[in-house]
Amino acid sequence: MKASSLREQSTEELQLLLKDTRKELRDVSVRRSVGEASEQPLKIRSLRRDVARLLTILKEREATSNG
């Protein structure tokens, strides 16, 4: 997920993507804690970075609309 492509999407699309990404992160974390090691080892890291990237873009939009 690249920030430049995310910035082209609407706020509603980003919020939906954030919700889906958080759900996927939660699912992967649960599977890892249960012991299913079938997931890629770097999947959690990439999902956490995607969540942070989405939150950053949403906060930027919020700041520009309030400022």
DSSP string, 1-67: --HHHHHTS-HHHHHHHHHHHHHHHHHHHHHHHHT-TTS-TTHHHHHHHHHHHHHHHHHHHHHHHH-
Model confidence at 14, pLDDT cuts 50, 70, 90, reads: very high
Mean pLDDT, residues 14-29 taken together: 95
Confidence (pLDDT) at 2: 85
Confidence (pLDDT) at 25: 93
Q: Which domains does the chain have, with CATH numbers?
A: 3-66 (1.10.287.310)
- The pTM is what? 0.86
If one compares 14 and 1, the residue with the highest pLDDT of the two is 14
